C-alpha cells in the first residue's frame, strides 16, 4: 500500500512527532511505501521527497509584512496546495494520513487529494477540529465556549496567546475551514483516547467517522535496569495546563518525598519562585532531559506524575513510565484515566486537587513492595494492550474500510 503521511515537522519536535515517526517506521517494516509531506527545516530527517515540502514558517520571529503573509497562510496556503499537486503527479497514494498539519501547511492540501479521490485519515493529536487553539484551555482553565461552532469566542476572549490579532486569525481560520468542508471531508478520524472520540461525537461528528486507536510503544526499547531510588518524577513541558503548580503544593504537603522535575517551558521561572518561596528543599529542577538520561530517570523513579489540568489525550509519558515498570499517578482528566488502573499500576486523583495528589504520593511511597508489583503489572499491560502489532492491525483494518480495492 502507498501511504502519504502528513506532518508539519519532519524532525523530533515533541510527542506527536514521536508517534508520527514510529508509525511511519512500523508501516514501512511491513512493506508499505510511506511518503512524507512536511515543512522544510535544517533539522529535518533526510527524505527523497523533500523537494515537495513547503517553505519553513517561523511565526515566532516573523515581523511586519512577513507576519501578515504567514497569517494568511494559516488560513489557506497556496504554496502547500501547489506542492501537493506536484507531489501527486510523482506519487499515487492509496490513503493520505494526516497528523499535525494546521498553520504551516493548512487544509488547502485537502482539495488536490480529494480531486484525486484519495481517502483521508486524520489522527487527533489535539482538539483542533473543535477548538481554534487546539487545547480547550484558556485563562488557566478548561474551556468549551466554542461548542456549537461558536468560534467567535476565541476572538472575544483573546484565546491565542492573549493577542486580538492572532485570535482573529484563528477565528477566521475555523469558520472558513468549516465553510469549505475540510473537516467534514475527512473519511476517518483516529482518536488515540476514548475521551477524544467522545468529544468529537459530542461536538457533532458521526460516531462511524471517529475510531479509537491508542498510541503504542515498543516495550523492548524500555527495559528497566534499576531499582527505584525513592523519588517522584514529573517530566514534560512546564506550562500552566500541565498543573505543575498543583504538584508543588502536593510536594509542600509531603516534604519528605524527593521530587524531580525534568523539563523546560514558559512557567519555569514562576515554578522555581514558588519552590524558593515555600522553601521546598525536596524539589529539584533538572532542566531539559532526553534520551537515555531520561529513561534512566524514569527507571529509577518510585513513581511519575501527570498533573495536567487540561484535556490530555493519550500521553506517551504515561506509556513510557508504565513500560519501564514505574507506576503513574495521574489526574483524572481527558484520556489519562484510560491508561491507569487505580491500585493496580498507579493511582488517579481529582485534577487540580493538590491534597488528593499528595495523598496518592504518600500512599505509593510507603509501600515499596506494592509499587514494585504495580510496576510489573504496568509493563504487562503495555506488552498486551499497547503493542506495535495490535496498532498495525487496527490501522490496516481502518485503511481497508476506506480503500477496499487496495486490500491490506
In a domain, 161, yes or no: no
pLDDT score at 69: 66
Q: Is the pLDDT of residue 66 over 70?
A: no
CB atoms under 10 Å from CB of 393, counted, come to 12
Mean pLDDT confidence for 36-46: 95
pLDDT in tens, 260-299: 999 999 999 999 999 999 999 999 999 999 999 999 999 9
In a domain, 146, yes or no: no
Are 124 and 190 in contact by the 8 Å Cβ rule? The answer is yes
Note every long-range contact of 276-284, with CB atoms under 8 Å and residues 24 or more positions apart, other chains counting.
278/248, 278/252, 280/248, 280/251, 280/252, 280/255, 281/255, 282/251, 282/254, 282/255, 282/256, 282/257, 282/258, 283/248, 283/251, 283/259, 284/258, 284/259, 284/260
Same domain, 206 and 315: no
Task: Measure Cα distances from 140 to 6, 143, 300, 313, 355 in Å.
Answer: 31, 9, 32, 18, 19
Question: Side-chain half-sphere of 221: how many Cα atoms within 13 Å?
Answer: 10
Same domain, 193 and 330: no
Mean pLDDT confidence for 307-319: 96
Average pLDDT value over all residues in the chain: 93
Count of the separate structural domains present in the chain: 2
DSSP per position, 288-317: ---HHHHHHHHHH-SEEEE---S---S-HH
Q: Is the pLDDT of residue 12 over 90?
A: no
The percentage of residues in the chain with a pLDDT greater than 70, rounded to a whole number, is: 95
Q: Is the pLDDT of residue 408 over 50?
A: no
Same domain, 203 and 323: no
pLDDT score at 304: 98
pLDDT score at 227: 84
Distance CA 242, CA 402 (A): 37
* Domain containing residue 291: CATH number: 3.40.50.2000
Same domain, 200 and 346: no
List the one residue out of 328, 324, 296, 301 whose CA is nearest residue 315: 328
Same domain, 379 and 236: yes
Helix (H, G, I), strand (E, B) or coil at 395: helix
Which class for 254: exposed (0-12), middle (13-18), buried (19 or more C-beta within 10 A)? Answer: middle
Same domain, 203 and 224: no
pLDDT in tens, 318-376: 999 999 999 999 999 999 999 999 999 999 999 999 999 999 999 999 999 999 999 99
Q: Is the pLDDT of residue 71 over 90?
A: no
Mean pLDDT confidence for 103-131: 94
Q: Is the pLDDT of residue 305 over 70?
A: yes
Eight-class DSSP state of 46: P
Same domain, 36 and 98: yes
Same domain, 30 and 53: yes
Range of the domain at 324: 219-385
In a domain, 17, yes or no: yes
Same domain, 206 and 57: yes
List the one residue out of 100, 118, 83 whose CA is nearest residue 1: 118
In a domain, 349, yes or no: yes
Same domain, 269 and 200: no
Q: Is the pLDDT of residue 50 over 90?
A: yes
Distance CA 106, CA 292 (A): 35
List the one residue out of 287, 281, 302, 276 whose CA is nearest residue 235: 287
In a domain, 153, yes or no: no
In a domain, 177, yes or no: no
Q: Is the pLDDT of residue 187 over 90?
A: yes
Are 326 and 228 in contact by the 8 Å Cβ rule? The answer is yes
Same domain, 190 and 245: no
Q: Is the pLDDT of residue 175 over 90?
A: yes
pLDDT in tens, 208-229: 999 999 999 999 989 887 789 9
pTM, to two decimals: 0.92
In a domain, 175, yes or no: no
Same domain, 37 and 55: yes
Q: Give the confidence band of 103 by pLDDT, cuts at 50, 70, 90.
A: confident
In a domain, 137, yes or no: no
Distance CA 150, CA 107 (A): 20
Are 93 and 35 in contact by the 8 Å Cβ rule? The answer is yes
Amino acid at each position: 500500500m502507498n501511504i502519504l503521511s502528513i506532518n508539519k515537522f519532519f524532525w523530533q519536535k515533541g510527542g506527536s512527532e514521536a508517534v508520527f515517526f514510529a508509525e511511519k517506521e512500523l508501516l514501512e517494516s511491513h512493506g508499505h511505501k510511506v511518503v512524507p509531506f512536511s515543512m522544510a527545516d535544517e533539522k529535518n530527517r533526510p527524505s527523497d521527497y523533500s523537494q515537495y515540502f513547503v517553505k519553513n514558517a517561523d511565526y515566532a520571529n516573523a515581523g511586519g509584512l512577513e507576519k501578515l503573509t504567514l497569517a494568511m497562510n494559516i488560513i489557506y496556503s497556496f504554496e502547500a496546495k501547489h506542492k501537493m499537486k506536484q507531489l501527486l503527479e510523482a506519487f499515487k497514494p492509496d490513503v493520505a494520513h494526516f497528523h499535525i498539519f494546521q498553520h504551516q501547511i493548512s487544509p488547502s492540501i485537502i482539495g488536490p487529494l480529494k480531486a484525486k479521490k484519495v481517502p483521508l485519515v486524520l489522527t487527533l493529536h489535539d482538539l483542533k477540529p473543535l477548538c481554534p487553539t487546539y487545547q480547550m484551555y484558556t485563562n488557566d482553565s478548561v474551556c468549551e465556549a466554542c461548542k456549537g461552532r461558536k468560534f467567535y469566542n476565541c476572538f472575544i476572549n483573546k484565546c491565542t496567546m492573549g493577542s486580538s490579532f492572532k485570535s482573529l486569525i484563528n477565528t477566521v481560520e475555523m469558520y472558513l475551514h468549516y465553510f469549505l468542508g475540510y473537516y467534514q471531508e475527512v473519511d476517518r478520524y483516529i482518536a488515540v483516547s476514548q475521551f477524544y472520540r467522545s468529544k468529537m461525537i459530542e461536538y457533532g461528528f458521526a460516531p462511524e467517522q471517529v475510531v479509537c486507536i491508542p498510541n503504542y510503544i515498543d516495550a523492548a526499547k524500555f527495559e528497566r535496569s534499576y531499582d527505584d531510588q525513592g523519588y517522584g518524577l514529573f517530566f514534560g513541558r512546564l506550562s500552566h495546563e500541565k498543573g505543575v503548580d498543583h504538584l508543588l503544593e502536593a510536594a509542600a504537603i509531603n516534604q519528605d518525598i524527593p521530587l524531580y522535575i525534568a523539563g523546560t517551558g514558559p512557567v519555569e521561572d514562576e515554578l522555581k519562585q514558588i519552590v524558593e518561596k515555600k522553601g521546598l528543599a525536596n524539589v529539584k529542577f533538572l532542566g531539559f532531559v532526553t534520551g537515555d538520561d531520561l529513561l534512566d530517570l524514569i527507571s529509577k523513579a518510585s513513581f511519575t506524575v501527570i498533573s495536567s489540568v487540561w484535556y490530555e489525550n493519550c500521553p506517551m509519558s504515561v506509556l513510557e513510565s508504565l513500560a519501564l515498570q514505574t507506576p503513574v499517578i495521574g489526574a483524572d482528566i481527558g484520556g489519562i484515566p484510560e491508561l491507569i488502573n487505580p491500585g493496580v499500576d498507579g493511582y488517579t486523583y481529582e485534577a487540580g486537587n493538590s491534597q488528593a495528589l499528595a495523598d496518592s504520593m504518600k500512599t505509593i511511597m510507603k509501600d515499596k513492595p506494592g509499587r514494585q508489583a504495580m510496576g510489573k503489572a504496568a509493563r504487562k499491560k503495555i506488552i498486551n494492550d499497547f503493542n506495535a502489532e495490535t496498532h498495525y492491525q487496527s490501522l490496516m483494518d481502518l485503511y481497508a474500510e476506506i480503500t477496499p480495492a487496495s486490500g491490506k
